[in-house]
Structure 1
Amino acid sequence: MIDHFGINVSNLEQSKAFYQAVLAPLAGGLQHDFDVTVCFGKNDGTGSSLWLVEKEPAPIHIAFKAPSQTAVDAFYQAALAAGGTDNGAPGLRPQYHPNYYGAFVYDLDGYNVEAVYHGD
């Protein structure tokens, strides 16, 4: 489970737009917008999970929990439409466990971003 984390991005406005698009299918949205940082969290107001800071990027991997396979598919399509690039189309990944359904993209700064549904 993720409580919160921060990543450095090279262009805050572009990254803000990217994450607004890809988190919408996962029930996430913009929670705070400050001069040099923005924060995303669940739309139900239960917390702030992802902080973006305009600084030199460093490589990381982020996996977001999805409520369904459909949400994983929507995340993937939203990511590509928002300027992300493919790093693994939606599908089962039985090497992780039998119900692991995930999709991987690179965001605008080359971060490996994933949405995963672990099944019922």
Structure 2
Amino acid sequence: MIDHTGVAVRDFTASRAFYTQALAPLGYGLLAEFTAAVTGHTDVAGFGEHGKPGFWISRGTPNQPPVHVAIRAGSRAMVDAFHQAALAAGGRDNGAPGLRPHYHPHYYGAFVLDPDGHNIEAVCHEAP
């Protein structure tokens, strides 16, 4: 249903580096980047897979309250790797990898807060 989404970030360079490292274990990479001269508004960077950016950051005043973005992972190991990479990139733990059976029996997720406090999650819905 949703084609793409994004968040505003205070320090564009630091956030671009954070997301580049944190999303790599999920198979997402930096696929597009445009300056304010191109967009007519602000600098933006798009992350995604298979040539299609689906998650964007833009230089600006961070969303208040911070937003929650969940990114689908293909395996529980990818969720674990995302959490480790995000913490190594400077994210703050907001929920270690694990089952969240109150959502459904196979819901396996991990949560980190990005440099602006946005709650970023990697989630796998598959049985082990």
Aligning the two structures, in what range does the TM-score lie when normalised by the shorter sequence? over 0.9
**Structure 1: tracts of 5 or more residues without a match:** none
Question: Is residue 2:108 matched to residue 1:101?
Answer: yes
Report the TM-score, using the length of structure 1 for normalisation.
0.94
Q: Report the Cα distance in structure 2 between the residues aligned to 1:104 and 1:19, rounded to whole angstroms.
A: 14
1:80 and 2:87 correspond: yes
Q: Which residue of 1 aligns with 2:97?
A: 90
Q: Partner residue of 1:57?
A: 62
Counterpart in 2 of 1:27?
Answer: 27
Cα offset, 1:2, TM superposition = 4.0
| SS at structure 2 position matched to 1:20 | helix
**Aligned residues with identical type, % of pairs:** 55
| Higher CA-based Rg | 2
- In structure 2, runs of 5+ residues without a counterpart are 36-42
Deviations 1:43-95, CA, capped at 9 Å, x for gaps: x21x1101111000011000000000000000000000000000000000001
Counterpart position of 1:118: 125
The DSSP-based 3-state class of the residue aligned with 1:19 is helix
| In 2: Cα distance, 1:106 partner to 1:28 partner | 18
Measured in 2, the distance between the counterparts of 1:18 and 1:97 equals 30
CA RMSD, 1 decimal? 1.0
Question: Is 2:47 the partner of 1:40?
Answer: yes
After the TM superposition, which segments of 4 or more aligned residues of structure 1 sit over 2 Å from their partners?
Answer: none
Q: CA–CA distance in 2 between the matches of 1:51 and 1:107?
A: 14
Q: Deviations over 1:92-116 (max 9, x none)?
A: 0001000000000100100000000
What is the number of residues matched between the two proteins? 118
